[in-house]
Structure 1
C-alpha cells in the first residue's frame, strides 16, 4: 500500500487530474485551487439531499426536495422576449399535480416523454394555490442514473463556466487517486484516539460525498478539529518561543510622564487609563511585553502607543511604530512629532516612496541612535533598518500585518517589548484564542463629545434623494466617501464598480463637483496623491473600494455612501463607517442594499441600530457561514477552510487545550518533527519554529 505525504498532494498540480484541461485549470485557479491538496480541501458550502422523496401533495412552498411523477403533457415553449425561452410541462403522481418550469434550457423538450416516470429535484413554489418547480434536475425513474442520483450531493462555491456537475465529477476523480493508499495524518495518534477522530482520507471522502448527514457531521468535526488544532499549535508555539527568548527590558516610570499626560489637549477616558496601566505594568516587568490593544474605531488607541513610546525613549531606548499605509504613517508623524519635540525626542518618518538619500539619512540616524522614534510602513522591516537600542515595537492596525512581519521588526532589538493595536473588534472569547500569543487590553469606551454616526439602509428607489443629500453636504463644505465592492464591472456579479461609479457621477450627477477615485489596482504613488488631495480638501467626493477601510483620518468627511452593502461583512461595514464621524459634526452612513433576502435585511438592521463594534462583530460571527471570518488571512494566520468560529467555539477550546498539552510535553515540537513540518507548511512564513 502506497504511503502518501501531504507535501506530495500540495506539490501535485490538478492539471494531472482526469477532466482538468488547460481552460479548466485557469477556472480552478480563479477559485485559488492549484494543487490536488487545494482541491481535496475545497469543502462544500452546502448539500442537496436528493435521497428524500415526497408526494407532490406534501410539497411545501420554498421546500427543496425530490419527488417522483409521471409527465402528463408535452413540453410547451414560450418566448416572452428575445433571448428568453420558458419551457413548461405538467407532472402528476397519485396525490396531485405540479408544473415544472425551466428558463433557457431547451434540451428539456427532447428529454422528457409523455407517460414516463421521472425523479425531479428542485425548489417547490406555490403561487395562487398552484404548485410549480423551477429549473429542476431530473432522471428517468428506475434507471441506473436514478439510483446514482438518490443521494446527498455536495454544493461548492463556483465561478462562471465551472458548474456544480463539473466540480463534482473532478472531485470524484481526485478522490479515486486516494483508493488503496495510506496517508500520513497531521493529527498525532494519541490526539485522534482521545477525541475519537477518524482518519484524514476517510473524512475527506465523507465530507464531499457523505452517505448520510450524520456521516458528514462526523467527518466535518474531525476536519474542523484538525484545522483549529494546527492554528492553535502555531500560535501557542510562537508564544512559547517569545517566552523562552530571555528576560525583557525593565522600564522605569520617567519623571516627565505626568507632565506629558497633563500637557495633552484632552483627558484620557477611564478605559484608556486602565489600558495604560496594563501597558505600563508590562513594560516595568522583567518579561517581554506582548500585548494587543483592541479598541473600536475612534476609541483612542494611538495615544496609548504614544505614551508607551514616550516611556521607552525616556528610559534610554528607541521606539518603532509600524502602520500599513504611507498616508497613515504621515498622519501619525504629523500628530506625534509636535508632542515629542517639546521633550527633546527626535521623530522621523520612513516609507518606501522616500528619496534614497532621505532613507539613508534615517537608516544612519537609527543605527547611530540620533533618531529616538521612527514611524513607518513595511519599509521598517527592510534589512537596511538597524537600531542602536530598540526597546519598543508598536504595530498599528494589526490585521494588515502577519505574525511574521511583527517578529522581523522585533528581532531588530534585544527582546524589545511589543505592543499590537487593532480596530477590528473581536468578541473577547475569540480574541483570547485567536491571539493566543498576546495578552489583551480592550478600550471599550469612546472619548466624550463623539456623536454616533446615523446609519440608514436604502434601496435604489432612494437614489435621487441620496444624491441630493450628497450635494447638500458638499455645499456645506463637507466631503463624501462613496464605497464600491469592485474595481471594474464583472459579468458574474452585479455590483457597483468603483471605476463605473466614478465615471457616472463625475460625468453626469456631480459633473460640477470635484470627484476623485482610489482603488487597489492603482500604483502606490497615484493612491497617495489622491488621498493627499482628499485630506487637503481639494476633492469633494472620493469614490473608493475598501482600500480606505483602515487608518484614513479626514475629520471634514461627514457622509459615507456604501454601494451593494450586502456584499460586505458586518465587521468590514463597521470599519468603513469609521472613516466618518471623526470630527465634531454629525456624520452619516447610507447603505444601499440591493438584496431582498431576509438575512441581508437582518444584517442591515444591525448596522442601522448599533455603533458598537463588539456587538456588530458578535452578530457577524453569528450570521456568517463557515470560512474566513474577519479575514484570518489579514491577521497573518492561515485561512480557515471549514471551521466556523461562532459555531465551532467548543471545538476551538478543545483544540487549544489539546495543543497546550502537546507543547507542555514537547516544547518546540522537538520530538514531533513530522508535525513540525506540517505546521511550517500550514503557516508558511507566518510563524517561526525553532
Structure 2
C-alpha cells in the first residue's frame, strides 16, 4: 500500500505540470488518482446505420469520409463539416473550433464516430463528435466510456490516458483489504478488478460487478467508521439527572404553549437525561418549528441539577440571538447565561473564562470560541450543538471532551430524511419536531426568469416597503469564497441603489465584515432602520426579523434546495403574509425541477429528499462534514438494499470484534482509519 501513497507527480506520465492540475481536483497521491471515479458512464456500443438514427439520440456510426469543408461563420470561430456515408445514407459531422480535423482525416478514410444526432427533413448531422479511424480496438467509441468530473483545464481524454498508463503498469499492486469471508458472503469482486473496470470497463457486466463492490465497500466503511466513533463515546457511564420541579415553573412562564411535537421531543430528552447512559440525540425540526425553546428547557434541567450547560452555534448572529432569548427567559429563575464569541474583547474573554471555570456561569453560549483550549468548565453536564452540519464530528467531540461524559444534543433546521439521518448519525436517537407553532403562515414561493427581475423590484419590493414591511435580497452564490461573495454583494447594493432604490434605505451584510459591523446592521434591520437588506448566505441560519416579509434570491439555481429552504425561512416569521421570489438564469431541466419543488411545498423534509435525489448526498458527506468520507459512487436512494446489507454487516463485524483486532480485520481497520483520517484518531482502539 506504500506505493499508493506516492506523490502523484512522480507517477509515470504525469510530472509537475499535470500534477498541479490534478491537485486542483483533490488528487495528491496515486491512491487519490485511482479512487477518482467517473461521475457517469456513456454507452457508446450503440452502433447504428445512418438511416436508423433518431433525432436527439447519442449513437455510434461506421462510415466513409466523402468530403471535408471548413468555414469561418464569425470572427474567432472555425466550422469544420465532415461529410460521411454508409450503405444506407449520408450525414455531416459538425466540429466547432477544431481545424486540425481537416488535416487528421482524408476522403476515403473509414471512421467510427460517436455524437449527438440532429435530424431534419432530409439532413442528418452529428454534433459533439468523437471521431477515430476504424480499428478492431477503438479507443473512444464502441465501448462503455467513463466520464469524469472535470475542471481546471483537465480533459476527459487526458484523465483516461493517465488512468490507462497507471492501470497498465505492472508496478501497481492494489492489495485486498476486505476480509475474504465478506467477499465470498456478498459475492464481491476483488478491489483490483473493481478499480480497473470502473476506469476502463471491459463490458457492461464487468462495470456492474465493479460498481457493486465499490458501493458495498463505501457503505461498509462509512458505517463502521461512524459506529467506531460513537462506540468510543458511548462506552462510558453518563450523568444521571433528576427532573426538577422548577422546570415546570420555567415552562409555565413561557408566553406560549409548546406544540405536541416540541413536548414529545422535550420528554424524550428529559427521559434520556434521567438515564446513566450518555445521551446522544439528534433534534431535527423544520425552519421555525421551535427547537430553541426545547434547547432552553433542556439546558435549564441540566442547571437545576447543579451542572453547567453549553450551546454552540455556527455564527455570531445566531449565538447572540440564542443568548438574548435564553438570558431574558431564564433571568428571573437566577440562571446565569453568558456569551463567548470571537468579537469579545480580551478583558471580557478573560473575565468569562475565569467565571466559567469557577462555576459562576450556568450556561455558556458561543461559536467555535467554545472549543478553544482556554475554555475550562467546572462541571459541564449538557452540550448542545446548533446547526450541527456546520461543524465537523471532531469539533463537536472537542466540546464534549471539556467535561466528564456530558449528555449531547445536536440540532438541525436542515431536515434530513430519516434514512440518511440513520446513516449519518448511526446509533443516535432522533427526535423530530414536525409541527409548526400556530399562526405561522405558509410562504408563497414564485420562481421567475431573470428577464422579469425588473418587475419584481419595481412592483413587489416597493409594495412591501410601502406597507411598512422589510425585504431580504440574497446575492448569488459565486463560489466557496467569502471575499468574492462580499464583492458580489457590494456590487449588487450599488446596482440596486443606482437603478431601483435610490429613495429607500438599503443595507449590506456579508461574511467579510467585522462582527461589530454585522451586529450593527442586524440591529438596524430589526429596528426597521433598513428597508432592504442585501446579504450573502450569512443570513441562512436562525436570523429572526418578524417584520421581513419578502425574500428575493438572485441566481437561485446556484443554491442547493436545502439552502434555498433555509433562506426562505428567514421570512414568514410574523403575522403578515410572506413571499419568496426565486430568480433564475438557467434553462436546464435540473433547474426547472428544483424551482418546481420549491414552489410546490414548504415541507423541509420533502425538499431535502428531493435535494438528495437530484444532487446526491455530497452536501452531507462532503466538505461540511469534516472527517466523514464522501460517498463517491454509492447513493442512498438508488442503492438502499446494498446500504442495508452493509449496515447489517458493519454491526455484525463490530459485534464479533469490537476493536477490529482480529487478523482478518486489520487491513480493513487501516482502510477505515485512512478514509476517516482525523475523526477517529483520538479514539483508542488498541
Q: Normalising to structure 2: TM-score of the pair?
A: 0.93
Q: Is the 8 A contact 1:17 1:170 kept in 2?
A: no
Matched, 1:226 2:220: no
CA distance in 2, matches of 1:514, 1:208: 56
Q: How does 1:23-422 map to 2 (within 5 A)?
A: 23-79=17-73, 81-128=74-121, 130-142=123-135, 146=138, 149-177=141-169, 179=170, 181-246=172-237, 248-422=238-412
Distance 1:489 1:193, change over 3 A: closer
Once the two structures are TM-superposed, the CA of residue 48 in structure 1 deviates from its matched residue by 2.4
> Could you say what secondary structure the match of 2:659 adopts?
helix
Partner of 1:679: 672
CA distance in 2, matches of 1:516, 1:222: 53
Matched, 1:452 2:442: yes
> Could you say what secondary structure the match of 1:106 adopts?
coil
CA distance in 2, matches of 1:510, 1:175: 60
CA distance in 1, matches of 2:101, 2:265: 67
Once the two structures are TM-superposed, the CA of residue 261 in structure 1 deviates from its matched residue by 1.2
CA RMSD in angstroms, aligned pairs only: 2.5
Matched, 1:554 2:548: no
CA distance in 1, matches of 2:539, 2:172: 50
Distance 1:148 1:399, change over 3 A: closer
Matched, 1:464 2:454: yes
> Could you say what secondary structure the match of 1:455 adopts?
strand
Q: Is the 8 A contact 1:366 1:386 kept in 2?
A: yes
Once the two structures are TM-superposed, the CA of residue 141 in structure 1 deviates from its matched residue by 2.3
Task: Structure 2: state its 5+ residue gaps.
Answer: none
Distance 1:147 1:438, change over 3 A: closer
CA distance in 2, matches of 1:381, 1:611: 35
Partner of 1:663: 654
Once the two structures are TM-superposed, the CA of residue 599 in structure 1 deviates from its matched residue by 3.0
Q: Is the 8 A contact 1:293 1:441 kept in 2?
A: yes
Q: How does 1:566-645 map to 2 (within 5 A)?
A: 566-625=557-616, 628-636=618-626, 637-645=628-636
Partner of 1:510: 501
CA distance in 2, matches of 1:670, 1:528: 52
Distance 1:16 1:288, change over 3 A: same
Distance 1:155 1:455, change over 3 A: same
Distance 1:456 1:357, change over 3 A: same
Once the two structures are TM-superposed, the CA of residue 69 in structure 1 deviates from its matched residue by 1.7
> Could you say what secondary structure the match of 2:201 adopts?
coil
Task: Structure 1: state its 5+ residue gaps.
Answer: none
Once the two structures are TM-superposed, the CA of residue 49 in structure 1 deviates from its matched residue by 2.4
For these two proteins, the number of residue pairs brought into alignment is: 675
Once the two structures are TM-superposed, the CA of residue 484 in structure 1 deviates from its matched residue by 3.7
Once the two structures are TM-superposed, the CA of residue 621 in structure 1 deviates from its matched residue by 2.4
Once the two structures are TM-superposed, the CA of residue 617 in structure 1 deviates from its matched residue by 1.6
CA distance in 2, matches of 1:432, 1:374: 30
> Could you say what secondary structure the match of 2:67 adopts?
coil
> Could you say what secondary structure the match of 1:307 adopts?
helix
Q: Is the 8 A contact 2:66 2:83 kept in 1?
A: yes
Once the two structures are TM-superposed, the CA of residue 253 in structure 1 deviates from its matched residue by 1.6
Q: Is the 8 A contact 1:227 1:643 kept in 2?
A: yes
CA distance in 2, matches of 1:319, 1:615: 33
Deviating above 6 A after TM superposition, structure 1's stretches of 4 or more consecutive aligned residues are none
CA distance in 2, matches of 1:632, 1:556: 35
Distance 1:525 1:685, change over 3 A: farther
Once the two structures are TM-superposed, the CA of residue 417 in structure 1 deviates from its matched residue by 1.0
> Could you say what secondary structure the match of 2:446 adopts?
strand
Q: Deviations over 1:503-547 (max 9, x none)?
A: 432443334444444445666666555555544544433333333
Once the two structures are TM-superposed, the CA of residue 480 in structure 1 deviates from its matched residue by 2.6
CA distance in 2, matches of 1:31, 1:148: 23
Q: Deviations over 1:551-604 (max 9, x none)?
A: 222323222222232232222221222222222222211112322233321221
Distance 1:134 1:392, change over 3 A: same
Q: Deviations over 1:180-216 (max 9, x none)?
A: 5543333222222211212222211111110112211
Distance 1:398 1:148, change over 3 A: closer
Distance 1:140 1:670, change over 3 A: closer
